[in-house]
Chains A and B, each alone.
Chain A
Amino acid sequence: MKANPEALLLEDDSETLEELRSHFAHKRFYPLAARSATRALSLLENNGESSRPVLAVIDWDLRLAPDNRTTSGDVLSRLSREFAECLVIVYSQNIDAFHVRSDIHRAHPRAWLHDKRDGIGSLMLRIDRMLDQQVGDLRVHHGTVVIHMPSQDEHHHREAVRLVVHHPDIVTFHSDTATKAVRRFGDWLTRHDSMVKLVSLGNRKYRLAVPAATGPDPPPA
């Protein structure tokens, strides 16, 4: 079963948003692109029932947004409250300023920060590094496909990708559909005799386990 992962993209500059959108579309993500925080919140609400973004890329400064009824802080708060399993990266020209970092972390304590002055290319590189993880004999390719390297077989479900990119952290899945997909991924790992095992911690919490002999896995970028 295939389910392309969604990426929430919030950027007020239309050219940069288009660059981000085409980058993620090329990687076979389903981009949820918004120029304003209000639109981003609406995309999250409309998609919350059926799908949940694996990744959110949020521009902190939305001065060019077509409407300013809500802020990027509102989007981050919503992501922190209801989409805790979504990787969030926030970028800003003033990311070094204490008040900016503090405001971002108050809205989303687990957000990764990126300096906008390094350019959009640097942001994309960072995101690619965060997504293209290797865990044991599994590798995420382009952030959308989990590959079992010995057999080169592919698993395309977004929840499998979510588990691998969050390794070794615990992921809480928020629907029966998602947990069924995770269990199917666990069966797929067993069928492929993968060294990576799916560990259920109850209460819809799962993580991947790799035998210690394979050494520690690198942390995300």
Chain B
Amino acid sequence: MGCPRRVEARCPAALEFAPTSGFERPPWLPSQPEEGDLRTILVVSPAGELAEALRDVVPREMAMVRDARPEEAVAVIGFSAPFPWMIVTDAAVDAPPAVAVARRHPVILASRGPVPAGAPGHARGFAVFAALADFVSGALRGTVGGMRLGRGAGVDLVSGEAVRAAALEALVALHPFGFDLPLARFRSAAHALERRGIPWRPVRDRGAGGVVLAPLAGASA
């Protein structure tokens, strides 16, 4: 039997946080990172309440909620290719791998309770669950310049074309807020837009808190 093309060669970042030893590996984790058909919301909490509550507000065709314990987080993040679309942490959880991945990749980081120590500027903390749920739902419905998150994964363009680009997906979801990351992290998104003649590009915008999508000079928004 053949295997679908594995993604670690294309996305070496997937293995940056892969477990070496001493981490718990949940039984459902695949043996190698594999690009999924559905974006992942990884919920890291001591019990499963937060994940179950979010499951009720996330349309199942838009994202899959993965429930991980703190000791499993590093394994799950390491085996998400290229990285989880969003990580949600519980206030009671110390989640250094979640913070580390959000400081290096365009991963949306949200927390029930205060933002974890060391988190990048784009991390969002919510005192109550309802506000967190609104934020997650809003991110899934995000639109900018006619682009919106597609069913399952990727971004749907005005033309109807679907683009698989994790960085672009993150920008569309978090808009109008920016990512506190170097602009270079969004090169793949810029290329994807340029190749298709879409007049929007990732730019650094201090007012938005980091990198956001903005119309090219001379193009109408």
Q: Which residues of A contact B (CB under 8 A)?
A: 48-49, 73-74, 76-77, 80-82, 84, 98-99, 101-103, 105-110, 168-176, 201, 203-205, 219
Contact = CB atoms under 8 A, between A and B. Distances in A.
Given A48-B1, A170-B153, A106 B28 contact: yes
Interface of B: 1-5, 26-30, 35-38, 47-49, 51-52, 55, 60-61, 64-67, 151-153, 162, 164
Contacts of B48: 98-99, 102-103, 105-106
B4 A174 contact: yes
Shortest Cβ-Cβ A-B pairs, 4 listed: A102-B48, A170-B37, A77-B27, A77-B28
Instruction: Determine the main DSSP class of A at the interface with B.
Output: mixed
A158 B66 CA distance: 29
Given A168-B61, A170-B153, A175-B1, A107 B28 contact: yes
Contact of B67 (A99, A102, A110): A102
Given A81-B28, A168-B151, A175-B1, 5 more contacts: A81-B27, A98-B52, A174-B4, A175-B2, A204-B4
A106 B38 CA distance: 16
Contact of B55 (A81, A105, A171, A203): A105
Given A74-B27, A77-B28, A101-B52, A106 B153 contact: no
Nearest to B36: A84
A146 B44 CA distance: 41
B29 A81 contact: yes
